[in-house]
Amino acid sequence: MKHAGTQPSADTPLLRQYQRIKAQHPDHILFFRCGDFYEMFFEDAKVAARVLGIALTRRGTDANGEPVPLAGVPYHSVEPYLAKMIRAGYKVAICEQMENPRFAKGVVKREVVRVVTPGTVVEENLLENKANNYLVGLVLEGERWGLAALDFSTGEFSITQFEGPSASATCQAEIARLQPAEVVLLAEERAAIELALNWQASQAELGLGAETGEPTREGAAEVATRTPEDRPAIAALEGSMPLARARELLVRHFGVHDLSGFGAEDCAAGVRAAALALEYVRETQRAQVAHLTQLRVYQPGEFMMLDATTQRSLELVANLTDASRRHTLLEVLDHTATAMGGRMLRAWLLKPLRSPERICERLDAVGVFVGRGVVRAQTLEALRAVHDLERILSRAVLKTANARDLVALRASLQQVPKLRALLREVLTEATLLQRLYEEMDPLEDLVSELVAALVDNPPVSVREGGLVRDGFDPKLDELRAIAGDSKSWIAAMRQAEIERTGIPNLKIGYNKVFGYYIEVSNSHLDKVPPTYIRKQTLVNGERFITPELKEKEEIILHAEERIQELEFEIFERLREKVCQQARQIQRTAAAVATLDVLVALAQAAVSGDYCRPQITPHGPDAELRILDGRHPVLESLDLGQPFVPNDTVLDHRENQILLITGPNMAGKSTYIRQVALITLLAHVGSYVPAREARIPIVDRIFTRVGAMDQIARGQSTFLVEMSETANILNNATDESLVILDEIGRGTSTYDGLSIAWAVVEYLHNTKGRRPLTLFATHYHELTDLEGILPRVKNYNVAVVEEEDRVAFLYKIVRGATDRSYGIYAAQVAGLPRAAIRRAKEILQSLEEGSGVHVKPAGGRSRAGEETLQLTFFDVLEHPVVERLRAVDINRMTPIEALALLAQLVAEVKNSRGSS
């Protein structure tokens, strides 16, 4: 925010200090600590008042005699306000008082200690505890992308890069997986990156200024909602980041000789991206980044690729209805006991492995816990006592962790010996468990120090004492004795004074203004000795002090102040010790999280009656075979009847493409998704909902499911459908699994059928691009392909046709359906019987090619019937048809289409009304 020109200069020392600091943070909202409040002045005050819905007041005047706008929030409950600012797209600079105001000479020293941005928050309330919060660094070098994923709240830091013609698409899929809260890039590359990732539209939609990316002041208040998941906040850094400088930054940060220890030599673009992210967090977090202890390099090919559409339409971690976790694969599997395990499970689901060895390592470990119920239950119980070690550690590094955090850390680490003991019983049965056992460090020294030092239930504040146990620090014990003695001295004094003066209700109290005082009620004032010095008159009595009382007060207050300071010092030392163990704590945390996920997957397998999939390599002989497969999410819901399991066989010889036909609501979509989900789960290293499953390694799963609502993207639905289909045809390989649901539904029948037909042919015939495919379609004409293309097989969902209705069996059987059952669907939906009967008549006539017999209105006799040769245009001959012909659907947004539809409907109704 630049308002140097318009902002008046201030004429108090405090405002002068404010403006000096604000000048260094023109783009941030400055939360300026004043006593118990964070205050905002000038423009910032107006923005804060609007975004936070707090009162805008005035304080004093500036140099021009104008009142200074002011808004404030209480420091002890700042988090929700911070959250609102961040979600509205602002960055907040936190400016603290750096000395105790009581001892300050002149204006209290203040400094910005941290800038909070969407990608760097660590506050518990600003984060979802079972999801990562990524800051992504991005660089683009021609056709090469470098990507760094940094979760500042946990210390996870990894890099990769993408090369070649499809690098942008791969990078985009990776970003969709990470769902970063914020992306940091170079200002000079911004336009190119936004273009390549399709982010241009975000500016206008979010009310962001086109050049700066900072929210426009007007726009932001209205759009005070979360940034859409696929368009993170953007931080554009000025200047450049040459490789040499990037290397140096990282080498210095990690304290290593070179980056070869991380295996990062061949990842130059990734290194540059990491340096961008690191520079950004160092700048915003004032160098408090000690928990970034390691850089991990990964290859894009390590994981099965899931583009954004596939992630969404398979409802892996967010559902299509409200983007929440409800009814997602994650929800069904999430039996994790810790937040860390929850985050890891989520990450695993979005990063299925492609190495059969690594998958089997996980399966072996899951299998151990499937087979051993007691160990599983005991492990789960120990895990339940483990807190979020990763985020506690990050808060410790940022000095925002309090004593409760360290007590939680202590309690968590105390579980580690129990977990190791449980692992020891089973570690010969799975190499992964052996490794976890070795990686878990109980950190005994740290734990015993924390046990000795910290009380069990410390207060939230770390500056007001009450944190440290008696007997831990001799100096502290001494001060406590002094303060305690003096307090009992005061109690004794009261007793003595009551006896000496004969005032039975004499009281000794304390307040901040007078310190300790003696209070006497009006009725006994005559007994007050002359040595008492009067300080204050109340309605019911008077307050006095005496010199000896003041002497003791001095001792008590001094001791208490010293106690608070000393306790804080001790606490800070402990926090520092925790930070020194960052690497070991992180390793332990990762091992505990992994164990948590493995146990959770075992729990899911047991409660869902899943089987261990057999993983086979990819190749021409690969076969995907599922016996009695189920949809993991649907089967967990109450459908009013048991879920019907189904078999699947896909291979490259005869069963490459399965065409699935059947009436609406028969279970086609469910079936093809369940195959995708089972395949994905197998790659995650999970057991799968089936009686038996043989799953070959797959490089990608593609889906094109349903006519999704893409209004937010401002593109026509059909265009989206086609671009997603194009993505599949261009990128699917022999190793891919493709799920197509109702391709071509978004356009006219003949167009749609032709496109669907061509898509099947392409997937069947193009060498190198012959993915295993499941194709659910309402075009029963497509079933003719089985006779023509050797690797296409027809299946349909069995139904029983009774007299007047269709009963669904949800059983997939070999063969084609010869009809679309649309009329049955209409009947199920409750169309009147007469209309249904009539529709059947018309259908029959059309199928016979004999035209439709038009009934005269109200007439029952056949005499008045005419025959109408039916074509589309005949039916539609109406003035609006002319207008419809002029419409180009592909160039319309869904909103425009809706508007046009509304208009046409209104016209039709009007013409009815007037005729």
**Residue 103, both tokens:** 């001892």
Nearest distance in Å: CB 756, Mg ion = 14
Strand 541-545 relative to strand 614-616: parallel, antiparallel, unpaired? Answer: unpaired
For residue 664, the partner it binds in Mg ion, ligand ADP, none, with Cβ less than 5 to 8 A by kind, is: ligand ADP
Q: Which is nearer to ligand ADP, 327 or 487 (CB)?
A: 327
Nearest distance in Å: CB 330, ligand ADP = 19
Count of CA atoms in the C-beta half-sphere (13 A) of 785: 32
Among 158, 311, 586, 669, binds Mg ion (CB under 5 A): 669
Strand 772-776 relative to strand 533-537: parallel, antiparallel, unpaired? Answer: unpaired
Distance of alpha carbon 66 from alpha carbon 61, whole angstroms:
5
Nearest distance in Å: CB 645, ligand ADP = 7
Q: Which residues pair with 800 in a beta bridge?
A: 807
Q: What is the DSSP code string of 781-843?
A: GGGGHHHHSTTEEEEEEEEEE-SS-EEEEEEEEES--S---HHHHHHHTT--HHHHHHHHHHH
For residue 190, the partner it binds in Mg ion, ligand ADP, none, with Cβ less than 5 to 8 A by kind, is: none
Q: Which is nearer to ligand ADP, 496 or 639 (CB)?
A: 639
Q: Which is nearer to Mg ion, 613 or 662 (CB)?
A: 662
Strand 533-537 relative to strand 614-616: parallel, antiparallel, unpaired? Answer: unpaired
Q: Which is nearer to ligand ADP, 687 or 810 (CB)?
A: 810
For residue 810, the partner it binds in ligand ADP, Mg ion, none, with Cβ less than 5 to 8 A by kind, is: ligand ADP
Q: Which is nearer to ligand ADP, 239 or 815 (CB)?
A: 815
CB 791 within 8 A of CB 655: yes
Nearest distance in Å: CB 720, ligand ADP = 19
Q: Is 863 helix (H, G, I), strand (E, B) or coil?
A: helix
Nearest distance in Å: CB 694, ligand ADP = 21
**133 part of the interface to Mg ion, by CB under 5 A:** no
Question: Which contiguous run of DSSP H or E holds residue 167?
Answer: helix 167-178
CB 313 within 8 A of CB 320: yes
Nearest distance in Å: CB 824, ligand ADP = 12
For residue 667, the partner it binds in Mg ion, ligand ADP, none, with Cβ less than 5 to 8 A by kind, is: ligand ADP
The Cα-based distances of 51 to 73, 75, 118, 157, 217 in angstroms read: 12, 17, 16, 33, 10
Nearest distance in Å: CB 815, Mg ion = 19
Q: Which is nearer to ligand ADP, 214 or 635 (CB)?
A: 635
Nearest distance in Å: CB 224, Mg ion = 37
Q: Which is nearer to ligand ADP, 329 or 644 (CB)?
A: 644
Nearest distance in Å: CB 775, ligand ADP = 12
Q: Which is nearer to ligand ADP, 332 or 479 (CB)?
A: 332
Q: Which is nearer to ligand ADP, 382 or 812 (CB)?
A: 812
CB 817 within 8 A of CB 796: yes
- Binding segment toward Mg ion, per CB under 5 A, in 142-150, 562-570, 667-675, 725-733: 667-675
Nearest distance in Å: CB 779, ligand ADP = 13
Q: What is the DSSP code string of 446-497?
A: HHHHHHHHB-SS--S-SSSS--BPTTS-HHHHHHHHHHHHHHHHHHHHHHHH
CB 310 within 8 A of CB 701: yes
- Binding segment toward Mg ion, per CB under 5 A, in 344-352, 642-650, 668-676, 824-832: 668-676
Residue nearest to Mg ion (CB): 669
For residue 54, the partner it binds in ligand ADP, Mg ion, none, with Cβ less than 5 to 8 A by kind, is: none
**Residue 152, both tokens:** 């500042």
Question: Which contiguous run of DSSP H or E holds residue 6?
Answer: none
For residue 670, the partner it binds in Mg ion, ligand ADP, none, with Cβ less than 5 to 8 A by kind, is: ligand ADP
Q: Is 613 helix (H, G, I), strand (E, B) or coil?
A: coil
Q: Which is nearer to ligand ADP, 151 or 635 (CB)?
A: 635
Q: Which is nearer to ligand ADP, 88 or 737 (CB)?
A: 737
Helix axis angle, 717-731 to 749-765, nearest 10°: 10
Q: Which is nearer to Mg ion, 62 or 741 (CB)?
A: 741
Nearest distance in Å: CB 778, Mg ion = 8
Strand 541-545 relative to strand 533-537: parallel, antiparallel, unpaired? Answer: antiparallel
Please provide residue 486's backbone torsions phi and psi, each rounded to the nearest 5 degrees: -65, -35
The Cα-based distances of 826 to 180, 457, 777 in angstroms read: 44, 64, 18
Nearest distance in Å: CB 797, ligand ADP = 6
Nearest distance in Å: CB 656, ligand ADP = 22
Q: Is 67 helix (H, G, I), strand (E, B) or coil?
A: strand
Residues that bind ligand ADP (CB under 6 A): 634, 639, 643-644, 662, 664-670, 810
Nearest distance in Å: CB 188, ligand ADP = 48
CB 160 within 8 A of CB 299: yes
Distance of alpha carbon 333 from alpha carbon 562, whole angstroms:
52
Please provide residue 121's backbone torsions phi and psi, each rounded to the nearest 5 degrees: -65, 145
Q: How many residues bind Mg ion (CB under 5 A)?
A: 1
Count of CA atoms in the C-beta half-sphere (13 A) of 794: 20
Cα R_g (the chain), whole angstroms: 35
**Residue 813, both tokens:** 């059987």
Q: What is the DSSP code string of 127-153?
A: S-TTS---EEEEEEETTEEEEEEEETT
Distance of alpha carbon 183 from alpha carbon 202, whole angstroms:
13
For residue 905, the partner it binds in Mg ion, ligand ADP, none, with Cβ less than 5 to 8 A by kind, is: none
Q: Which is nearer to Mg ion, 147 or 666 (CB)?
A: 666
- Show the binding pattern over residues 616-655: x = contacts Mg ion (CB under 5 A), - = does not: ----------------------------------------
Task: Name, in order, each residue with C-beta under 8 angstroms of 870's C-beta and a sequence gap of 6 or more.
Answer: 846, 851, 852
- Binding segment toward Mg ion, per CB under 5 A, in 355-363, 664-672, 843-851, 890-898: 664-672
Distance of alpha carbon 37 from alpha carbon 646, whole angstroms:
63
CB 773 within 8 A of CB 658: yes
Q: Which is nearer to Mg ion, 273 or 776 (CB)?
A: 776
Nearest distance in Å: CB 808, Mg ion = 13
Q: Which is nearer to ligand ADP, 665 or 738 (CB)?
A: 665
CB 365 within 8 A of CB 348: no
Nearest distance in Å: CB 332, Mg ion = 21
Q: Which is nearer to Mg ion, 825 or 900 (CB)?
A: 825
The Cα-based distances of 717 to 393, 631, 709, 712, 714 in angstroms read: 46, 27, 7, 11, 9
Residue nearest to ligand ADP (CB): 667
Q: Which of 213, 174, 186, 181 is nearest to 275 (CA)?
A: 186
Which residues of this chain interact with Mg ion, rule CB under 5 A?
669
